[in-house]
Amino acid sequence: MRQSLARLFLALLVASVLLSACDLLLETPTPATGNGTPGPLPDMPQKPEPQVGTFNGCPPEGDGGDPALNRLKNRVDEGNYVPVLFSAIMALTWPKEIERRDRANWPAGDAAEIARYEGIPVVVEGYLYGGKESGPESTNCHGSDNDNVDWHVWFTETAGEDRTRSIVVEPTPRTRVNHHWTLKQITQIAQDQLKVRISGWLFFDPEHPDQIGQTRGTIWEIHPVM
């Protein structure tokens, strides 16, 4: 009996250390509504205005590409995170006409459709598939070292699920400076299939429709992760 209790204590201790090491997964945000039970996406006509600034010499608009897109990716403000179901994000649709188009060129009706949900501060429970550094992007002024690139992290609804049904969630250089996150920790948590809670801003990325069903299940993201 003592040996069984000791093994149980050790397992709980290891899980606690892993979660504490990666505070991305341990944050307990304050829900905006209700009792904290995940539900559908709320109607939020008035959303927080993104707070942005220059980081490592890179302005929030980046150094090319779509400046409006880059400003949203580079926001740094915390939100009053609303607990929503993973499936609620996966169920979101979008006008096909805006895929791979700069926001300045979106028809007004299509822009309004995206704006209904984009910019909601959400907290979602699920599991990690894994993560990696992205390459140089205009968002980060084409920085190439770890401190100046986004991380692409695949987030799934169930443990052990592949990334074809994942939501991409992205910790950015501007948000990671406030934490002690590492890709090694994310990999370990994914391997151990620990349930996690991700907080951040709901974001629509029109740049990767070709990856749906391959490395993601939607081009709606949680970006940035806060």
User: pLDDT tens digits, residue range 34-64?
Assistant: 458 999 999 999 999 999 999 999 999 999 9
In the block, tokens 């629509």 appear at 204
140 within 8 A of 212, measured Cβ to Cβ:
no
Return the pLDDT at 21.
Answer: 40
Residues 6+ apart with CB under 8 A from 125: 38, 86, 195, 196, 197, 198
Return the pLDDT at 35.
Answer: 53
Return the pLDDT at 27.
Answer: 45
Return the pLDDT at 13.
Answer: 34
Residue ranges in the chain whose pLDDT is less than 70: 1-35
pTM above 0.75, yes or no: yes
Nearest 10 degrees: CA dihedral of 207, 40, 77, 111? 40
In whole angstroms, what is the distance from residue 40 CA to residue 105 CA? 30
Return the pLDDT at 36.
Answer: 85
Angle CA 110–116–117, to nearest 5 = 115
144 within 8 A of 26, measured Cβ to Cβ:
no
Phi-psi region of 173 (alpha: psi -120 to 50; beta: other; left: phi over 0): alpha
Q: How far is CA 25 from the centre of its chain?
A: 12
- Give me 198's structure tokens: 């991700």
Angle CA 24–133–199, to nearest 5 = 25
